[in-house]
Chains A and B, each alone.
Chain A
Amino acid sequence: MSKEYETVIGLEVHVELATKTKIFCGCSTAFGGAPNTHTCPVCTGMPGSLPVLNKQVVEYAMAVGLATNCEITRHCKFDRKNYFYPDNPQNYQISQLYLPICRNGHVDIELGRVSVNQKNAGKEAGEIRHKQVRIHEIHMEEDAGKLIHDEWADESLVDYNRSGVPLIEIVSEPDMRSAEEVIAYLETLRQTIQYLGASDCKLQEGSMRADVNLSVREVGSTEFGTRTEMKNLNSFTSITHAIENERERQIDIIESGGKVVQETRRFDDAKGESYAMRSKEDAQDYRYFPDPDLIPVDISDEWIERVKAAQPEFRPAKIERYKEEYGIPDYDIELITQSKRMADIFEESVRLGADAKKVSNWLMVETMRLLKEKNMDADKLVFSPAHLAKLVELVDKKVINNNTAKEVFAQMFEDDTDPVKYVEEHGLKQENDSGAIKEICSAVIEANPKSVEDYKGGKEKAIGFLVGQVMKQAKGKADPGTVNEILKELLS
């Protein structure tokens, strides 16, 4: 009879911080520059250059630490991690080993919740369970440059634009037991950090990267098995696959009497398997020591209080409050609170007097559609709550109809145009003079005897065509409800 195994997983999550400049120099962190255009003597390791710490990096790291219930290290230092690789211009990485900025935290994760997408796919909500994942530490460090491989020339090219981009590494305790827990943990981290504005946390683009430390042991055992570390996981799907694959691989080794080797493995998503990254020349002895070029960072109570005071309301609290305050469906709440930016727009629009459900509809339908169409993130939304509230008011007061409103919204979505001005400048005001509409209606009735006949003959739907014709002649500026009423009156 085969034994039962338990998977033990700990995560090292690297998050690129949303600073404007690199961690130790004044170079831009913007994506997409031509190779080596965002570089200087510091981030290319020129002889004689020296690092100077970006204060915002400390603030973001503290903010994430406080949001994940960590203790903040009052006197923290930077250490050098020495290893040779071309993406690392100094051949050491400035990181923190001995005194990381945050320690001993935890996050609460929720399991069994069915997401909006799953619900759309018809999945039923199950029982929701809670679990705590402990955080061992969070430290600050610098990112490496990028290597571009050229098969033909048997060469690699080094671009240091990303070299020195600030990272935090969040190291969990080995508290997770399944891919589901891992994903839930990552989702929670991502949401928290996004709410803080400390990073956009995109796995695909590498602004959030997870290394999975995994071991297996017999159920009931209290000792940990030998773990491996898996790298190169850039989607939730590949993380899930890698975990399943590595669990099977380790169980196979144990069952066939072998021993798992502690090593770093690279997961190949396309092949669905991992392989060891080993080299005789990589001693894995990083010779960490305190960086003499950087002086310690002392964090006062006042500083911590300032960062604490600036913390936003996080998603779980927000969801609870929305349920009490806004009277909109849970489904809406879940969707709106996925992005802090969207939630902020919602709250402010409602505060300015717009109806909560109507605002919610704009966010859930048109906003989501345009985001998808433009492949954009909700935190990049530009339109202001004030303009959204005005737009809702324009529709409420029948100044424009829903179709026109969609056109206006599309423009607002682009550049935060003032809807009132836009409607005026483009002459989009609805024709509310019933005399004029009556004239158009009469003309349309005259021109469409067939439809009139159909309607009178009991085909209620035929009136829809007539409404459409009136709307067309009124250039969309009539209220369809009013048109409908007038037509019915004329035809009765």
Chain B
Amino acid sequence: MKLTVCIGSACHLKGSRQIVEQLQKLIAENGLEEKVELIGTFCLGTCQTGVSVKLDETLYSLNPEDIKSFFEKEVLAKL
């Protein structure tokens, strides 16, 4: 599974670093380093909403406070 977090300027200002940190932590806590690849990219083309996060080919718009539930509902559920 591939998780891509946008770290471009607009998303960065909306908290992409906090999202990356949380995801890194969650991946480590759940021992998923082998299964989930976390990468950054400079633009996913949807700068107007929250931080753009792509789970494989599906695009989500998230805020740092949404990450825990996103991880449980979308990432863990799909593994």
Partners in one complex: no
